Amino acid sequence: MDAKRKAIYSDQQAYTPNGSMPPASALIKRAKTEQDEPVRTQTVSVTVNRSSDLLAPNVQLTGHQGEIFSCKFSPSGENFISSSMDRTILLWKTFGECKNYGVLKPHNNAILQVLWSQDGERICSASADKTVALSDAVSGARIKKYKEHTSIVNCVAMQHKYTGETDIIASGSDDGYVLVWDSRHKKSTNHLEYKLPITALYYNLSGDILFSGSVDNTINAWDMRKNEILYTLSGHTDTITGLEVGPKTGDYLISASDDSSIILWDIRPFCSNPTRVTNIFYGAPHTAGNSLIRPSFSKDESRIASGGTDRCVSVWDINTTNLTYKLPGHKGTVNQVDFHPNQPILLSASTDKTMFLGELDSTATMQKV
């Protein structure tokens, strides 16, 4: 009744266009409002233009029972490997269902870094059990286990110059030594003494210079023919955590550090820049801790990428230094990233016990139907 009365009262107070009062029973035409307009819907078709052969643009992989410290694509790109705190190396297929097709257990402690041989037939690994191992990637058998280091082995490097079935391996340890191994021998064939923990290693493409990073914030270029330091790269303000030489030309080196920067160095023999610093990249925070964060070059040397303690993968354009991708998804520090050798795919490994295969350069097209 109250509602009816209010409605009648409202009618009685309304005026006609000539200003006279309408009768109480008159109907007053109400103006249209936006709420009265019919709702119009439109269908939009979205087409994703894929850039790789992955099953999906992003693939998350689980299987390790501990933090994942290292990951690496095989030279062909058909497979990849990962190593973990759980003392295992897992072998994966890159495409299809990304099947985990093998498990290697060459160490008795956390495996901190893994690498493929140049022919993709063998796997080299560094471990907190103070050893370096060489394993058969096909049969899974351990070929060699080197035990001369007296402390944690943080890193390994393998010569890029292919020498048949012979692998030349360098290993860096907290004991302050770099040991060089020839897979045809049981003992080390060379050693470099630095007296400070070695945290990162990488050979140049010709294999005659070995770059080493340490806790003194510097990178040394060793002449392996003379066992002498050719030059020292200074620019970081904290521990060097990872190194990689450009795979296409071999003219540049990237280094990651706990100072949260990535530096691009000119390592050509006759460099006019006395500091050899070409560019500095920011955007991937590193916090000093137990993880050694390792960066990666794209195979055409147009991009670099690195993980960080912000749980993201950062990708930069090497010429402009612009941060072109900031890829979330992980729930812990991203320890290592690696570019696929043939397709725009990025692999990442994290302390959250997972990995991601991510497709770059895919585009989406929206069209009204």
Rounded-to-integer distance, Cα 21 and Cα 67, Å: 83
Higher pLDDT, 40 or 82: 82
- Structure confidence at residue 47 as a pLDDT band (50, 70, 90): confident
The helix/strand/coil state of 8 is helix
User: How far is residue 302 from each of residues 258, 273, 305, measured CA to CA in Å?
Assistant: 24, 21, 11
How do residues 123-135 score in pLDDT, each as one tens digit?
999 999 999 999 9
pLDDT for 39 equals 63
Rounded-to-integer distance, Cα 297 and Cα 248, Å: 9
Strands ordered across the beta sheet of 296-297? 296-297, 303-306, 313-317, 323-327
pLDDT for 37 equals 61
- Structure confidence at residue 366 as a pLDDT band (50, 70, 90): confident
What is 46-367's CATH superfamily?
YVTN repeat-like/Quinoprotein amine dehydrogenase (2.130.10.10)
How do residues 269-317 score in pLDDT, each as one tens digit?
999 999 999 999 999 999 877 789 999 999 999 999 999 999 999 999 9
Check if the beta carbon of residue 113 is closer than 8 Å to that of residue 85: no
The 10 Å Cβ neighbour count of residue 189 is 12
The 10 Å Cβ neighbour count of residue 231 is 15
pLDDT for 10 equals 40
What's the rounded mean pLDDT across residues 193-209?
A: 96
Query: Hunting for tokens 């269908």 — which residue is that?
Result: 43
Rounded-to-integer distance, Cα 291 and Cα 170, Å: 20
pLDDT for 257 equals 96
Which of 13-27, 143-157, 189-203, 336-350 is least confident?
13-27
pTM: 0.85
Looking at residue 183, what DSSP letter applies?
T
How do residues 75-103 score in pLDDT, each as one tens digit?
999 999 999 999 999 999 999 999 999 99
Whether 142 has a pLDDT exceeding 90, the answer reads yes
Check if the beta carbon of residue 153 is closer than 8 Å to that of residue 109: no
Whether 17 has a pLDDT exceeding 50, the answer reads no
